[in-house]
Each structure stands twice: as C-alpha cells, then as structure tokens.
C-alpha cells in the first residue's frame, strides 16, 4: 500500500503541475488574445467611417456620402462650401498619414519626425523652396479659390480634431510618436508644387552634359547628348503655321518613362462617339498617389481622381466632357553658372555689377538631435544647388531657375475645368494650369476631340537650347518669357481620327519654339498608334486591352539585329540556346515568358558595358539615357561612328559580352534550366508602404502579400518600370481610366492598389490583382446604392 501511495505522489504532483501550466497557459493565451483584440480594436477605430451619421457643425446643410463597393466616395452637397468641407474630411479619413508625409516631404520637414536619415532630403527640398513657391502662389489666387482651399482645410481639420479627441488617429502616427498639426491652404498648394517636381525635372541632364564636356573629349561628350530619331513619330504631324519665323526651332531629344493617353473620334468607334483613355505613370506605392472621388453640388458634378491633400478633381469627367494628361516634359528648368564675389560670398556678378543674393534661413528640426542651422542662397535666377549636382557642382556655383518656383494657379484651373461643358470652356480653364506642363487630351459628348500641350514653357534666346548650364552673368542667357498660350501645340478633330501621346516628341521641325531636348523612347506611342489605326469599331474593352498591352517594339527592332550579329560569332552552347529561345519570341513582355527576362537583362548589361567609364554617382544624373543607348546602337548598325560603343570593344563584342553577362547572372539567380525562367520570376509588383521597410513586423501588417508577377515593362503600353537590382516594379500606371462618350456619366477605373490608406480597410489592397490583370471597376455619376454616411450640420 505504502508503495502504491508513494508511486501516486509524483503523478499527483505532475498532474498539479500540468493543471497549473494549463491554467497559466490559458491565462497567458487569454491575455495575449485580449491584447490582440484590444490592439485590433484600437487600430480598427481609425478605419474610415462610411455608414451612419457624423455631426459636422461647420456645415451649412446636410451632406450625403455614398461609398460604393470599390471604396469610391460620392459626395453630394447643396453648395460648394459644404462640398469641399466634406471632401477634406473624407480625404483625411482615407489618407491622413499620407497627407502628413506628403506635406512634410515637399516642405522639407521629414527630419522632424524621422530623424537624421532624412536630413539630406530635407536640405534638397528646403533649397528648392516648394513651400516658399506655394506661399507666393497663394497670394495671386482669386478669393473664390482661396475660399475653396480654406473650406477643404476646415474639413481636414474637423477630422483631425475629432481623431485626436477620440484617440482615433491612424496607427502610423502612434508608431512615429507624432500628431498632425492643423492643415492649411499652403499645405495643399505645396503638394501641388511637389507634383510639378515629380513631373518637371531635367536640370540633372544639363549637369551631366556639363560634366561630360569637362571630363571627356568634345566629340565623345557630345555623342551622349540627347538625340531623337528622325523617322520616329511626333504628336503634331502636320506642319505648324501662323507664328512669326523670327523664333528659332531647336528640338533635339531622347527619353523617360511617363504616361499614356489617347482620344479617338466617333469615326473610329463602335458607339459612334469618342473614346478617351488615360493612365498617368508615377511611383507605385501604398497608398496610391491618387484618390478616386465624385463631387456634386449646385455648381459641380464631376468624377475622377485627385491627389490626397488637394481639393477638386484633377483628372476625370463630368456629364458632357472627359479629359486626361501625360507629361509634356518641356525644358522648364535651367541651370546657371554663377560668378561669386571673391570676398563677399553672397554677391554674384550680372551685367557688369555685383548683385546681392537673398539668404533664406531654413533651420531644420531633427528628431532627437539639435536643430540644424541651414540657409538657402537665391540669386536672380533661383536657389544655389551646387551641392546636389555631384561632380558637376564641384568648384562651381550652379543656380536653378524653374517655372514651378514662380507663382502659379493650378487649383484655379482645376476648379474651372471641373465645371467646363465644352472644348472652349475647358481650354479657357487651361490658361491657369501653368505647372507642370501637361499634354491634355479631351473628348466631348457632341463628338469633339482635342489636344493641347499646356503650361509655362520658356522661350530661349536664339541658338540656346537648354542642353547645358548657361552663364548667369549675361542678360542674353535669360528666358524671353513663355510660349504664348494661343501658340502652344494644339489639335482639334484631326483627320486621322485619333490623338495619342506617350511623352514622345510633340512637334515637327517647323514649330518655331524650343520645347524639349529629352523625349520618351517612341515605342509606347508606336504601339498605341498601331492598335488605334487597326480598327474603325473600337470599344471600351479595346481601350482597356491597349492599356494592358505588353508589345515590346524596342525588342522588335533590336532583337533581330542582335541575333544577326551573333550568327557569325563563336558563342557557347548556353548562348546558342538563348538565341534559339529568342527566335521564338512574339515580342510581348508577358509575365510567363522567358524572352523578356533575357532581353531586358541583355539591354541593362549592354548599357553597363558601354557606360562603364562613367562614375556611378554621375550615372544617377544621366537620366533618360534609353534613347541615347538606342541611337548609339543604330549608329553602329549603320556603320557610323559610335565612339562609346567602339571604345567598349565594338558592337559585336558588346552584344556578345552583354548576353554572356546576362545569362550568367540569370543562371545564378534562377537556375540552369533556361526553359523554366519567367519574366514574372523577377519582374514583380507589391505597392510598398513606406513603413514596411523599417522592420518585418510592420511589413507583415502593411505589406503582408507576396509580390505578384506582372507583365509589361517601361517600353510597353502597360508601363511597368522596375528597379534593376531587384526587379520590383516601382513606376507605372498609377490610375487607369477609360470612358465612352456615348455614356459620359460612366467611367472605368483601376486605382492600384486601392482607395484606402488603412491596412484594415476593405479597400486597402483590393485592387492589387485588378492592377496586375486589368480588371476595371465601373463608376457612375448617378450612384444611388452603397454605404450611406450623413454629415449633419448640428
């Protein structure tokens, strides 16, 4: 008995331990579960409210917001005051953290919340002075526009005040330990100036050209200057007339990845009325740069997209017209070489006299660090930016003149074109849209289609073509005003039945003004034109398919050339296999194909070999070099001198070495079985949230989906430019839009990756796969169903 009792004791103790452990584990799990539920509930409190009633005392009358199944808010107000107050409140619900980061980035105040890692970026934006320019712009706005800006700001601040009071700020603010300050009209205008920065730059190429002339023989330097192929298409194909011949015509161009838009007349459509399509190409991230909305009041009824933090609708349609844009890419930035006084550092020489520059104190607050004393020096031309010009700025004083740093009135234009009803009233509104210069395409319900390259485009002195920094001490180097509005490139109802733009060259040689030296490679435009010319019964579906088109016309031009070169060369078995694979290609950059993976690596390696003597930091300034590379290849094929190619060993050797390097890299990354390789194994999209990069926990919440394989590339209509090191797509169609003017109240959209900036929202990444596969959602001006939110004035 005793033995049995003795034997049971340990078992009892073990059972007690297990029971205790079980209870302890249960309590721990319950605690963790409760904590998760609490955190989940806490985070969920800041998800946008789309149902119920919100008291908003600043309103005059009740406002209805119907949010459709795709997260698009349809705001209906009795007057403009209430409309823009509600738009500000709704935008803040969806995107407050994005708005906060946008105004800080553009204003140069990121270091205040991020720390010393953002100092250099803040210095750059303080030097440019986008916020200073926004302040100057505000002063020239009409009282009506100022009121709209204030209404919008009041709506944003009503949400901010409520979110702070009820502890419902988006979780990003908690993670960063900050609270948003009051929103102001200047914040909205500063974000607008930032978009001009994002779309309007080319000073880096001037600095690069200057560096070339300083460090290479003249003939070798000039070979890398921009040059647009003569046989490639331009937008205005007819000779330009009616402008005095006294102006010089200097247009010498190449490339960048930009946007697509086109408009087709009823003569070429199944409906018998115009079709319009637009897909602006910008950085791809979470949240989207665009927010889709519909606005309705006693003076407005418009649908489309807007930048978070800005009132109105910048791109879209109303019930009689539709419009879209691409970047014109004109030379609106000019570097000036400045002569500094040998003893008085803030004086600069101009026309025989020393002029005192303006010194602007820009102290930069840095999180957990002392405030950094920083000042900006502005000459008559603009801020001194030498420190950002790498080797070109070494021992040189470079200032920057830029149209966006002048007072401009883009919001005035947006408000007017939102209410426009025909081409005349729309074009009138464009007079106030000054920066960034854009290619506007237009469609009207009555059948009119039109185009205008719009904005402030400088007139240069005869013989001056913005390729290099100009002597800042000479009056002859100054701009001579801007191309008059009535003489900007313009097309109305062309005989061929369509107008398309893809950042390619705009004008023929008879146009009397200089516009740009740098144009996009023409391949996207060529493919768009090829498709539009192939049918006289085009539909919405055809337009959507064209926006998703992966035809690579660069490959169609160069792959046969490369294969012909390799035909008579001694190549390895691996290279022979690649040649056979490339022979079977239909020149579409499909995600499941092996050929685009080989081709794009081949082109990247080819550039690396040709430009191997250029330092990495200067290659960063060698923007838009794709067209330069194409022209060097063409010259070599035609037997013309191409110094950079010859110095790299000649075209045959460059093509072979580039293929060898590409295949070795691909084999290392994707294995030895070439037939198993796919473009989508490398070329993928994920729409990264800015906080995802901080640590894996935040990545799990903000970007918990695996990157998706995607077709296209920077040279296809389905634009999907990528980081060469990783293959991650970071630039492309930020919004896709198609409308048939037979039903002008209805539009077809994709806003990748979704409408909301909150990771717990149903509309956070719901359009991610739609973006990859081209699945559009329909939005109508007469939306009557969906989630209903009421804003009550009391």
Binding-site residues, in ranges, read 331
> Is 732 in contact with 276 (CB distance < 8 Å)?
no
Neighbouring CB atoms inside 10 A of 295's CB total 26
**What is the rounded distance in angstroms from the CA atom of residue 730 to the CA atom of residue 724?**
11
**The 275-279 sheet, strands edge to edge:** 498-501, 260-264, 275-279, 736-740, 746-750, 777-780
Give the end-to-end CA distance of the chain in Å, rounded to a whole number: 83
Q: Which of 458, 449, 520, 525 is nearest to 488 (CA)?
A: 458
**What is the rounded distance in angstroms from the CA atom of residue 710 to the CA atom of residue 688?**
15
What is the chain's alpha carbon radius of gyration, rounded to the nearest angstrom?
29
443 Cβ neighbours under 8 A, 6+ residues apart? 263, 274, 275, 276, 321, 322, 323, 449, 739, 741
Feature table: binding site for Ca(2+): 331
Q: Are strands 375-378 and 787-792 parallel, antiparallel or unpaired?
A: unpaired
Q: Which of 383, 389, 186 is nearest to 374 (CA)?
A: 383
Cβ-based burial of 676 (10 A; exposed 0-12, middle 13-18, buried ≥19): exposed
Look up residue 46 and give its DSSP letter.
T
> Which residue of the set 111, 188, 259, 297 is catalytic?
259
3-state secondary structure of 515: coil
Peptide bond into 145 cis (omega under 30): no
> Is 657 in contact with 646 (CB distance < 8 Å)?
no
Q: Is 666 left (phi over 0), alpha (psi -120 to 50) or beta?
A: alpha
Look up residue 793 and give its DSSP letter.
-
Structure tokens, 403: 């149209």
| Alpha carbon separation from 791 to 66, 86, 151 (Å, rounded) | 11, 8, 15
**What is the rounded distance in angstroms from the CA atom of residue 58 to the CA atom of residue 151?**
9
Look up residue 460 and give its DSSP letter.
P
Neighbouring CB atoms inside 10 A of 143's CB total 7
Peptide bond into 624 cis (omega under 30): no
> Is 741 in contact with 273 (CB distance < 8 Å)?
yes
3-state secondary structure of 384: strand
197 Cβ neighbours under 8 A, 6+ residues apart? 106, 128, 130, 404
203 Cβ neighbours under 8 A, 6+ residues apart? 333, 334, 335, 385, 400, 402
142 is catalytic: no
**What is the rounded distance in angstroms from the CA atom of residue 376 to the CA atom of residue 400?**
12
Helix axes 626-637, 595-610, angle to 10 degrees: 90
**What is the rounded distance in angstroms from the CA atom of residue 267 to the CA atom of residue 536?**
7
3-state secondary structure of 791: strand
**What is the rounded distance in angstroms from the CA atom of residue 367 to the CA atom of residue 260?**
41
Strand partners, 281: 733
Q: Which of 324, 243, 776, 793 is nearest to 545 (CA)?
A: 776
Q: Are strands 301-307 and 315-317 parallel, antiparallel or unpaired?
A: antiparallel
Q: Which of 674, 656, 645 is nearest to 570 (CA)?
A: 656
**The 333-337 sheet, strands edge to edge:** 398-402, 333-337, 470-471
Structure tokens, 554: 């660069």
Active site residues: 259
């Amino acid at each position: 008995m005793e033995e049995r009792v003795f034997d049971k004791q340990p078992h009892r103790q073990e059972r007690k331990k297990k029971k205790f452990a079980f209870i302890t584990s249960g309590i721990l799990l319950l605690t963790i579960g409760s904590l998760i539920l609490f955190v989940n509930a806490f985070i969920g409190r800041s998800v946008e409210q789309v149902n119920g009633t919100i008291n908003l005392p600043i309103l005059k009358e009740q406002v209805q917001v119907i949010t459709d199944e795709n997260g698009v808010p349809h705001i209906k107000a009795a007057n403009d005051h209430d409309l823009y107050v509600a738009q500000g409140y709704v935008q803040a619900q969806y995107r407050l953290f994005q708005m906060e980061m946008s105004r800080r980035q553009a204003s140069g105040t990121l270091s205040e919340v991020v720390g010393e890692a953002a100092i250099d970026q803040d210095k750059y934006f303080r030097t440019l002075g986008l916020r200073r320019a926004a302040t100057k712009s505000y002063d020239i706005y009409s009282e009506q526009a100022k009121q709209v800006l204030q209404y919008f700001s009041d709506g944003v601040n009503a949400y901010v005040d409520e979110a702070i009071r009820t502890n419902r700020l988006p979780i990003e603010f908690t993670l960063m330990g900050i609270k948003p300050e009051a929103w102001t009209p200047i914040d909205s205008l500063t974000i607008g100036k930032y978009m001009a920065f994002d779309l309007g730059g080319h000073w880096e190429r001037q600095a690069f050209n200057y560096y070339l002339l300083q460090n290479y023989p003249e003939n070798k330097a000039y070979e890398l200057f921009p040059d647009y192929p003569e046989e490639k298409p331009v937008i205005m194909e007819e000779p330009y007339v009616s402008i005095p011949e006294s102006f010089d015509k200097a247009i010498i161009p190449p490339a960048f990845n930009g946007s697509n838009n086109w408009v087709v007349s009823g003569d070429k459509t199944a409906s018998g009325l115009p079709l319009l399509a637009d897909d602006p190409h910008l950085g791809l991230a979470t949240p989207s740069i665009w927010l889709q909305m519909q606005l309705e009041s006693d003076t407005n009824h418009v649908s489309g997209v807007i930048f978070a933090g800005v009132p109105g609708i910048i791109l879209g349609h109303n019930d009689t017209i539709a419009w879209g844009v691409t970047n014109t890419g004109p030379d609106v930035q000019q570097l000036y070489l400045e002569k500094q006084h040998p003893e008085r550092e803030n004086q600069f020489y101009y026309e025989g006299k020393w002029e005192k520059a303006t010194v602007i104190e820009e102290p930069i607050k840095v999180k957990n660090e002392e405030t950094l004393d920083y000042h900006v020096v502005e000459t008559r031309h603009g801020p001194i930016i030498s420190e950002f010009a790498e080797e070109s700025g070494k021992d040189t004083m470079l200032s920057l003149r830029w149209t966006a740093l002048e007072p401009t009135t883009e919001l005035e234009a947006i408000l007017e074109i939102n209410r426009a009803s025909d081409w005349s009233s729309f074009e009138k509104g464009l007079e106030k849209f000054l920066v960034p210069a854009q290619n506007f395409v237009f469609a009207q319900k009555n059948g009119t289609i039109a185009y205008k390259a719009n904005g402030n485009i400088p007139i240069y002195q005869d013989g001056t073509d913005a390729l290099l920094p100009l002597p800042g001490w000479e009056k002859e180097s100054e701009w001579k005003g801007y191309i008059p509005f009535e003489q900007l490139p313009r097309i109305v109802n062309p005989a061929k039945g369509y107008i398309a733009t893809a950042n390619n060259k705009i004008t023929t040689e008879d146009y009397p003004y200089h516009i740009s030296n740098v144009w996009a490679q023409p391949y996207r435009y060529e493919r768009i034109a090829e498709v539009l010319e192939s049918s006289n019964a085009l539909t919405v579906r055809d337009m959507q398919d064209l926006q998703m088109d992966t035809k690579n016309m660069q490959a169609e031009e160069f792959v046969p050339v490369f294969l012909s070169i390799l035909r008579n060369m001694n190549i390895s078995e691996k290279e022979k296999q690649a040649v056979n694979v490339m022979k079977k290609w239909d020149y579409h950059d499909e995600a499941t194909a092996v050929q685009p993976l080989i081709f794009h690596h081949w082109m990247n390696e080819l550039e690396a070999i040709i430009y191997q003597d250029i330092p990495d930091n200067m290659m960063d300034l060698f923007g838009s070099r794709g067209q330069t590379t194409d022209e060097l290849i063409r010259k070599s094929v035609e037997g013309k001198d191409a110094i950079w190619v010859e110095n790299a060993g000649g075209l045959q050797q460059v093509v072979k070495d580039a293929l060898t390097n590409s295949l070795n890299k691909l084999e290392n990354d994707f294995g030895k079985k070439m037939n198993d390789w796919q473009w989508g194994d490398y070329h993928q999209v994920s729409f990264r949230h800015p906080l995802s990069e901080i640590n894996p926990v935040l990545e799990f919440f903000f970007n918990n989906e695996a990157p998706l394989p995607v077709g296209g590339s920077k040279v296809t209509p389905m634009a999907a430019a990528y980081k060469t090191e990783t293959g991650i797509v970071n630039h492309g169609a930020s919004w896709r839009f198609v409308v048939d003017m037979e039903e002008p109240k209805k539009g077809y959209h994709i806003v990748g990756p979704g409408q909301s900036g909150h990771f717990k929202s149903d509309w956070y990444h719901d359009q991610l796969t739609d973006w990859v596969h081209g699945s559009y959602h329909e939005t109508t001006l007469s939306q009557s169903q969906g989630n209903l939110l009421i804003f009550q004035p009391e």
